[in-house]
Amino acid sequence: MSDAEAQAVREVKIGNTEGLHARPVMRFIDVASRFQSKVSVMNVTRRGEKVDGKSAMQMMLLEATRGCVLRIEACGSDAAATVEALAALVESGFHQA
């Protein structure tokens, strides 16, 4: 497998009170956009479909509330770093006070 085809997957639980509303979605997209890898996200808890992790409109469709588990997948040369950064963001509660 070449670097361009590298894949990484991680599941994380949403811990912030508000869940995945507009502000956390924008933070998620901001971090995802720093990487070249293609990012897709799925709400495992609701058995939803995969959405584009760099699209605000699609991310809002996840309807992810507190306690939901997200599966973050990245495909590309920096896939591992992408998934690690996004998982850390979710686990931090999106850096909300």
* pLDDT tens figures, 39-59: 999 999 998 899 999 999 999
* pLDDT surpassing 80 at residue 9: yes
CATH of the domain at 13: 3.30.1340.10
Q: Which range of residues forms the domain containing residue 81?
A: 3-91
32 and 86 Cβ atoms separated by less than 8 Å: yes
Domain count, the chain: 1
Q: What is the pTM of this model?
A: 0.92
Asked whether residue 34 is domain-assigned, the answer is yes
Asked whether residue 97 is domain-assigned, the answer is no
3-state secondary structure of 19: coil
Asked whether residue 83 is domain-assigned, the answer is yes
* pLDDT over 70 percentage in the chain: 95
Q: What is the pLDDT averaged over residues 81-92?
A: 97
CA 82/CA 19 separation, integer angstroms: 21
Q: For residues 5 and 47, which has the higher predicted lDDT (pLDDT)?
A: 47
- Cβ-based neighbours of 4, under 8 Å, separated by 6 or more: 76, 77
Could you give the residue numbers annotated as active site?
21
- 95: pLDDT confidence band, cut at 50, 70 and 90? confident
